Amino acid sequence: MVVDKRFTDKVWGEIRAGLLYCELSCIFGGLPQSNQVNVSKPTSNHLINMRNKKAAWPGLVAIALAAALAGCGSTPEDEFSGQNTDKLYADARDEASEGNYEAAIKRYEKVEARASGTLMAQQAQLELAYAYFKTGERAQALAKIERFMRLHPTSAAMDYALYLQGIINFNDDLGLFGFISKQDLSERDQQASRDAYESFKQLQERFPTSKYAADARLRMNHIVNSLAAGEVHVARFYYQRGAYLAALNRAQFAVSEFRQSPAVEEALYIMVRAYDQLAMPQLRDDALRVLKTSFPDSGYIREGFTPAAKPWWQLW
């Protein structure tokens, strides 16, 4: 409930004015009607009247507070009060199908509240997660999915919930600025990709025959390649700045954890160069032998590092 601040300020202003009036009444036995104030010594009857008025003013304050609370307690009118739950759910789906996700979210929220404990409420939770995802509210979308999983662990729609959770984290849309700056997916923070991988992995293990399993497998392969490219990207960064031991560690991790990824080729080459810079000829030759065996036509053996095309904005 949202209360207008101007209303509350007005109410409290009236209360303070009332309190001041009561104090003056208690002191002077009522406000004077003329410009001259009677300051004669109070009589016994006057003192009794003062005590009675002092006893009465807390009651006036209570009445004023009650009036203020009554005003604050008014609730905004429900714009969907005249629609039944089935109609509201149908309208929400229509709005979503037309791309009006903000309007759909309002209706799905009402459906979830009204149909609590029903299959319709469960479906509304999943639809809400997708709608939030489509509006770019990733945190809200994940919160809805996690709430669904917590409340309905045995739901028949759990495979879709895991798939949707993976999709939300997987989101490979770099956005307008990412496209303009030619940012690569492997250059971003990889935690979301790891979370997506775990969701798809659970889907594969728990629901291998699910209709979402095949697409999940493809996305898992893409994530693995992205994670490997991310490690190699960091290894190359360290090597180019003379941090050869750090570059070697990241390249070794990429080779050991992502053996089937195309990024392993560059990781092996970085290991060769790093061992050479660290004056470890035996380990350098071992890494070079593995590189030649695994990638006999490797361009890294012939040409070394191939400078990547720089974004238009990068001048160095």
The CATH superfamily holding the domain 228-303 is Tetratricopeptide repeat domain (1.25.40.10)
Residue 182: what pLDDT?
45
Residue 210: what pLDDT?
97
Closest by alpha carbon to 168, among 201, 193, 190, 148?
Answer: 193
Please state, in angstroms and rounded to a whole number, the distance separating the CA atoms of residues 206 and 159.
8
Residue 314: what pLDDT?
47
Please state, in angstroms and rounded to a whole number, the distance separating the CA atoms of residues 151 and 157.
12
Please state, in angstroms and rounded to a whole number, the distance separating the CA atoms of residues 267 and 289.
14
pLDDT along the chain (316 residues), means of 10: 54 58 51 45 46 51 52 59 88 95 95 92 96 95 96 95 95 48 53 93 96 96 92 94 96 94 95 96 96 92 64 45
Segments making up each domain of the chain, as ranges: 228-303
Residue 67: what pLDDT?
52
